[in-house]
Amino acid sequence: MTATTVPEYSPDTEKDVTFAQGSAGSDVAAEPELHSEELEYKAKASDYFTLMASGFALVSDGYQNNLATVFNAVFKILYPAIYTSVVSTRVSNSLLVGEVLGQVVVGLICDRIGRKTAMVGTTLLIVLGGILSTAATAPTPEGMFWMLTVARGTVGVGVGGEYPACSTSASEAANEKFGRDRGKVFILVTNLMLSIGGPIVISLFLLIINAAGYKGTKSASDIHKLQYTWRILMGLGILIPLSVFWFRLRMMNPKIYRRNAIRRNPPYGLIVKRYWKTLLGTAGTWFLYDFVTFPNGIFSSTIIASVIPGAGLIRTMEWTLLLSVLSLPGVFLGAWVVKYTGRRNLLMMGFSGYIVFGLIVGLSYDKITKVVPAFIIMYALMQSSGNFGPGNMEGTISAESYPTSIRGTCYGFSAAIGKTGAAIGTQVFTPIQSKLGKRYTFIIAACCGVAGVLLAFFFVEDKGKDKLEKEDELWRQYLVDNGYGDIQMGDGSEEHSAKANADVEKLEFEK
């Protein structure tokens, strides 16, 4: 078949479309009688709704991801004989296993059905799982932990689904509003929101426990205070997704999705053929990042408690809060410099931080842990370098590397491989500490940094200088060249298909 080229669709030439605000999953085209000015206003408002709703929802995800930091410490006091490392890992990993499932399934849904439908569904799952977690009870503590495992798994499916649903929507809305400058905005509404979840959880815990007058004893009064504190924290996690539910009902699917969706029979074989190398880069680097960052976040209070024997719950949590706050500057610094460094270079710089600080802490562990502030600073710098590079770039690169019609699927797959790394890292974290020594958790982080730099260099392509429409048109052309020129593209509200473009001879992109 003779290769042909197709033009990039310009937003200026696209006809205005809006959707009826019916049920949560309704993406039905509105009646054409509406004036174009009103349609344009609704489209612009929807983009801002999308960015805001995505940001607040990812605060919820960060909150849920970091709850284990608190309840692991609390449960070890409440149930010292029952809450063993096996039970702790199972409860912590239930969220991650649910996330893997949610990322894959919702990634498919948000491509095949729509971003809005996926985001509404994930909100409902998080709320349902949060209610079950808050109310978790059983005749025995063992039974309660099994119920908590199931409930946290339900939350995990919703949280995992937020990654492809929110991030693809945020990237597309930011592309519509900010074009090639979308990187900074995308980071601030995704990774920053995820990262501040940890400080919020720990701050709320300290506020509640201090207001309750907890004294750190084994008295019945103090034990009772711990019992209701973790439930309050679980319950507060329900309010954040509920706060953006109305905005999600009002949002529209992004314009670029309405134009480029493939809702029927996506050619998955061609996806693998064209994007296997890109998938290896985005999924592989995400695996390494989550393998390091998740166990170090979940077990940070345990690590700090081992460095400060006898510190007590409150003091340990205060140091943990300091650690989580000191990890945040990397997010802001990365958002500021990404325009100058480029996506791939920033990713490699962040992994290099794992090498440097991981080796510093790991090789000098016995000495540096005797100076607690120095240990916390080095530990925070390692975590901050993760936020600076891979934390900021994994989502950004995954959202920009694939065309709109398969963005949710490929983003969800990459994120799922990342969360698989998180689950494996959480599973092996305690055995590594027990058998090799605590220093090796940091040395292994440095080794992951080396692997991350190599993967990023050879398999990650920087597309930050292009608008998202460029990859969409290259994908359309690839479909035409491979015999899929008659595939229907668009969400049904617009008549754009690859077949309709097959006779156009010139491919142009916005300069």
Which pLDDT value is given to residue 311? 67
- Higher pLDDT among residues 296 and 364, named by residue: 364
Residue 100 pLDDT exceeds 50: yes
Residue 455 pLDDT exceeds 90: yes
Residue 271 near residue 482, CB atoms below 8 Å:
no
DSSP H stretches of helix in 460-495: 468-481
pTM above 0.95, yes or no: no
In the block, tokens 């690590």 appear at 303
Give backbone dihedrals phi and psi of 417, rounded to 5 degrees, phi first.
-65, -35
**Average pLDDT, whole number, for the chain?**
82
Which pLDDT value is given to residue 466? 83
Which pLDDT value is given to residue 256? 87
Residue pLDDT, tens place only, 3-43: 444 444 444 433 333 323 333 333 433 444 445 555 555 55
Cα–Cα dist 172/490, whole Å: 15
Which pLDDT value is given to residue 45? 62
Query: What are the residue boundaries of the structural domains of the chain, listed by start?
Result: 36-501
Give backbone dihedrals phi and psi of 496, rounded to 5 degrees, phi first.
-120, 125
Residue 168 near residue 407, CB atoms below 8 Å:
yes
Q: What's the pLDDT band for 82 if we cut at 50, 70, 90?
A: very high
Which pLDDT value is given to residue 36? 53
DSSP label at residue 387: I
Which pLDDT value is given to residue 182? 83
Which pLDDT value is given to residue 493? 61
Residue pLDDT, tens place only, 251-263: 777 888 888 888 8
Three-class SS state of 496: strand
Residue 159 near residue 95, CB atoms below 8 Å:
yes
Which pLDDT value is given to residue 58? 81
Residue pLDDT, tens place only, 361-395: 999 988 988 888 888 888 889 989 999 999 999 99
The mean per-residue pLDDT over the stretch 331-335 comes to: 91
The mean per-residue pLDDT over the stretch 442-463 comes to: 94
The mean per-residue pLDDT over the stretch 124-143 comes to: 92
Query: What is the longest distance spanned by two Cα atoms in the chain?
Result: 80
Which pLDDT value is given to residue 70? 86
Burial of residue 253, with CB atoms counted within 10 A of its CB: 0-12 exposed, 13-18 middle, 19 or more buried: buried
Contacts of 126 (CB under 8 A, 6+ apart): 60, 64, 155, 158, 159, 162, 237, 238, 241
- Higher pLDDT among residues 147 and 23, named by residue: 147
Three-class SS state of 437: coil
Residue 286 pLDDT exceeds 90: yes
Residue 53 pLDDT exceeds 70: yes
The domain 36-501 belongs to what CATH superfamily? Answer: MFS general substrate transporter like domains (1.20.1250.20)
Range with the poorest average pLDDT among 136-145, 301-310, 351-360, 411-420: 301-310
Share of the chain above pLDDT 70, in %: 84
Cα–Cα dist 117/87, whole Å: 35
Cα–Cα dist 340/358, whole Å: 26
